[in-house]
Amino acid sequence: MMHNLRAISLLFQMRADFIDAQVYGSGHINDTYCALYDQAGCRVRYIHQRINHHVFRNPVQVMENVARVTRHVLDTLLAKGDPEAHRRSLTCIPALDGKPYAIDSEGNFWRTYLFIEGARGYDEIECNEQAFQAAKAFGEFQNLTANIKGGRLHETIPNFHHTSKRLEALEAAIRNDLAGRASTVLAEIAFARARAADCSRITDLIASGVIPERVTHNDTKLNNVLLDETTAEGICVIDLDTTMPGSALYDFGDMVRTAAPTTREDNPDVAQVGVNLNRFDALVRGYLSTATFLNEAELANLAFSGKLITLECGIRFLTDHLDGDTYFKIKRPGHNLDRCRNQFAFVRSLEANMAAMEEIVARASLVPA
């Protein structure tokens, strides 16, 4: 459904005249629009976004986090004299009442960002350099947000990367079988259950204090960092709704999930799914060039984290398939099942290549950044 973006634009302090708007991007959660404006004679684009309040139950808290994080990153870049500070951080345009969000007549929460020009996100990786640059940018984002003031950020989705709880949610979905599909996915259910022990490895290390809690992005898929169209440099980390307390391993793991495979996340031909070790090597080098704060336990689990987050994502797609596709946007019937099978095929490939990946991490950890 296309919203009335002209009406939405009037809720914000635009200081520009609305021309038109189009649905934009390929995110699975929010409704994103790119809007064209005339700003005192200049054509300027903005992003208007409806927050998915089915997924984010407390949009006010989401926007408190986003406002704090974006302000902090921008201030840090400005203090360093970065000449492109507003291209390297998201900038919220305030609503008429000064808040970072506006509520429309139907109770939807909206926000508006400056459109980052000359950079784009990729649904499918094209070269090793993109992997290096994306990982470097996400590591730098962790550096930038590490010392954010004002106390702990809100947990916008509690237990977001608690993989054992994700497996429990899958078990509940199997029991409820809301869409009557459980009997058709027995192989996928068995695949997930066989890996129950993997699910608690990182959360156990966090609980015992071996792995520290950090401010992390938690949704570091490749298309959530915009790469410069000419230099491929990671310009701006976007999609900050889940930036909250987490583990650096969640972030590295999701980079592996989305930037190391040989094909896109929803390719139904699982014979094409595998891990590209050169891309993995580039991710490790890019991430370690900026994430210089990692402790030994974090380094020792970098390779495993890719498997964990891919397994978790596959479990989430399977759960949503069983629930009748209520969480992730789908473009065709069976889309979530295709995604699940693809992710599980990638888990298999990561398992087969784990020793080689461990070796790549060990070699890279010895080289000073």
Binding site for ligand GN1 (CB under 6 A): 27-29, 55, 219, 221, 224, 239, 241-242, 265, 313
Give dist(CA 30, CA 53) in Å, integer: 9
Among 31, 140, 239, 320, binds Mg ion (CB under 5 A): 239
What's the rounded Cα separation, in Å, for the pair 52 and 54?
5
Q: Single out the segment in contact with Mg ion by CB under 5 A; choices: 22-30, 295-303, 328-336, 361-369.
A: 22-30
Answer with the entry of ligand GN1, ligand ADP, Mg ion, none that 90 interacts with (C-beta below 5 to 8 A by kind). ligand ADP
Three-class SS state of 342: helix
Q: How far apart are CA 304 and CA 200, in angstroms?
A: 12
Taking CB under 6 A as the criterion, the residue among 121, 139, 234, 274 binding ligand ADP is: 121
Rounded to whole angstroms, how far apart are CA atoms 33 and 135? 26
Q: What mask of x and - would describe binding to ligand ADP in positions 338 to 367, judged by CB under 6 A?
A: ------------------------------
Kindly state whether residue 238 participates in binding ligand ADP, applying the rule CB under 6 A. yes
Residues 216-235 binding Mg ion (CB under 5 A) are: 224
Task: Select 48 or 221, whichever has its Cβ closest to ligand GN1.
Answer: 221
- Whole-number minimum distance, CB 81 to ligand GN1, in Å? 31
Least CB distance from residue 307 to ligand GN1, whole Å?
14
- What residues form DSSP beta bridges with 226? 236
CB of 18 to ligand ADP, least distance (A): 17
Question: What is the C-alpha to C-alpha distance for residues 306 and 122, in angstroms, rounded to an integer?
Answer: 19
CA dihedral sign of residues 121, 261, 191, 167: negative
CB of 240 or CB of 357, closer to Mg ion: 240
77 lies in the site for ligand ADP, by CB under 6 A: no
In the list ligand ADP, Mg ion, ligand GN1, none, the entry touching 265 (Cβ below 5 to 8 angstroms by class) is: ligand GN1
- Shortest Cβ 134–ligand ADP spacing (Å): 13
In degrees rounded to 5, what are phi and psi of residue 21? -145, 150
Query: Which residues between 23 and 42 bind ligand ADP (CB under 6 A)?
Result: 24-25, 27-30, 32
The percent of the chain in helix, strand and coil, each rounded to the nearest 5, is: 50, 15, 40
Q: Please, are residues 217 and 242 in contact by the beta-carbon 8 Å criterion?
A: yes
Relative to beta strand 109-114, strand 244-246 is: unpaired
Q: Kindly tell me which residue out of 116, 237, 249, 357 binds ligand ADP, with binding defined by CB under 6 A.
A: 116
Q: Is 58 in the site for ligand ADP (CB under 6 A)?
A: no
Under the criterion CB under 6 A, does residue 239 sit at the interface with ligand ADP?
yes
Of 142 and 342, CB closest to ligand GN1: 342
For residue 196 the two structure tokens come to 């129950």
Q: Which is nearer to ligand GN1, 76 or 267 (CB)?
A: 267
Q: By CB under 6 A, tell whether 113 contacts ligand ADP.
A: yes
Spatial neighbors of 305 by CB under 8 A, at least 6 apart, are 202, 249, 250, 252, 253, 256
Nearer Cβ to ligand ADP (243/343): 243
Please identify, using beta-carbon distances, which residue of 265 and 281 lies nearer to ligand GN1: 265
Distance in Å, CB of 242 to Mg ion, minimum: 10
Return the residues of window 192-221 that contact ligand ADP according to CB under 6 A.
Answer: none
What the block records as the tokens of 127 is 């070269």
Positions of E strands within the chain: 17-23, 31-39, 42-50, 102-103, 109-114, 119-120, 214-216, 225-228, 234-237, 244-246
Handedness of CA 70, 73, 75, 77 (dihedral sign): negative
Rounded Cα distance, 273 and 153, in Å: 36
- Residues of this chain that interact with ligand ADP (CB under 6 A) are 24-25, 27-30, 32, 47, 90, 113, 115-116, 121, 223-224, 238-239
